[in-house]
Amino acid sequence: MTRRRIGIAATLGALGLVASGLVAPAGTPAAHAEARACTEGQTRFVPDAPPALARLGATQSWPLATGKGVVVAIVDSGVSANNIHFPRGSVLPGKSFVGGAATTDENGHGTALAGIIAARDIGEKSGVIGVAKDSQILPVKITGGEGGDEEQQRSANLAKGIAYAVSAGADVINLSLSTTSNRPDVRAAIASAVRAGIVVVASGGNREQAAETKDGLRFPAGYSGVIGVAASGPNDVVSENSIRGPQVDLAAPGDNVITTFRSWGDCVFSEAQQSSSYATAYVSGAAALLRQAFPKATSADITYRLEATASRGSRTVRDNVSGWGVVQPYEAMTAVLDNSVAGPVAPGAAPRVTSPPKVSTIDLTPARDPRAPDRAAVQWLLLGVAATVLGLAMARMLRKPTES
């Protein structure tokens, strides 16, 4: 196989994947730079832990849940199940709608998402490990292969892929894709998944990969019951590359993503631009943790926990940039929530009635000074004394004899 380096303009971009690693991020030892490169046919490992794990408090969450027993469907380009991070049983056979096996991945997008969610720890040589590290991946391959138009494949197979994930018993469905098209077949498939109690997580959209770059509603994130995700960078700031709109419910890290690279170990992706594809996978991993922690919870309950506990500046307000804020799985598992908690309304609770603020007027009329007459009398007295002194002085000067 001819080795070639994956660049920003590679075919991975069609699904929102931006592969990098040619330049190591600041603070990374120079010796690690080569290991971070994405080179086909060359197995390399990145010893650095994915920065998002620390931001999301994943290690703090693992004593409570690791995703064990939870199935996460990745409706995408397939998953390279022969990557060392996926031992036998961690990736299910799944189904391909484009020929070949779902456990193969020609462009790497689905494998990168699978690593974010469920990569297993392989020891000190690699820092890559999934948010829900014991969950199982169900690959649903709707695009990829050696031929065919990927956009057309996604449009033709998305609804069928979602329907298969529902029938196969998925607990979480990850959809790292977006479109402005409101397709009836996809809408119906999403509704079926939501009715089945599945947590559905979808990308809010990436500007640089979108045919329509303006902000606005994107699907399937815009459908009812779906968690729409934006990509955040350093300091939890959502990138300009992330599409803004009413479909955004949460944000998650989307840059400097260290994850699985097809069959060849690890790679660093999305160094130049935050990608909501990866952010979506982080939220899916968080949802898998909650699904294990609360096995009897509805999908609406899990969504509410993720949204109510997200990190944000204002506890009471969502916006079209980051939704309810950056996902925090540990807080979502440990918080005691009811309808009195600021933020989204709990499932089944009555909408909050916000009373109009009481308006009161302030009298700015100056108050009467009770000592004003006394102060006026003193002022006149002082003026009188001053005038008297001045008059006596002038009279004395006039009486003074002229010197000869």
Among residues 109, 126, 301, 322, which one is catalytic? 109
Question: For residue 401, which phi and psi values (nearest 5 degrees)?
Answer: -65, 145
Q: Take residue 205 and report the two structure tokens written for it.
A: 């959209």
Residues 135, 178, 270, 277: which is the catalytic one?
Answer: 277
Q: How far, in Å, CA of 326 to CA of 347, rounded?
A: 20
SS3 72: strand
Compute the C-alpha angle 306/276/197, nearest 5°. Answer: 40
Active-site residue among 20, 48, 76, 96?
A: 76
Residues 56, 357: Cα–Cα separation, whole Å:
37
Of 79, 16, 70, give the one whose Cα is nearest residue 299. 70
- The distance from CA 308 to its chain's CA centroid, rounded to whole angstroms, is 14
Q: Does residue 277 have an active-site annotation?
A: yes
Backbone phi and psi for residue 359, each to the nearest 5 degrees, phi listed first = -105, 125
Distance CA 39, CA 128 (A): 17
- Told to judge if 76 belongs to the known catalytic residues of this protein, a careful annotator would answer yes
Phi, psi angle pair for 131, to nearest 5°:
-60, -45
Q: How many residues does the chain have?
A: 404
Q: List, by residue number, the catalytic residues.
A: 76, 109, 277
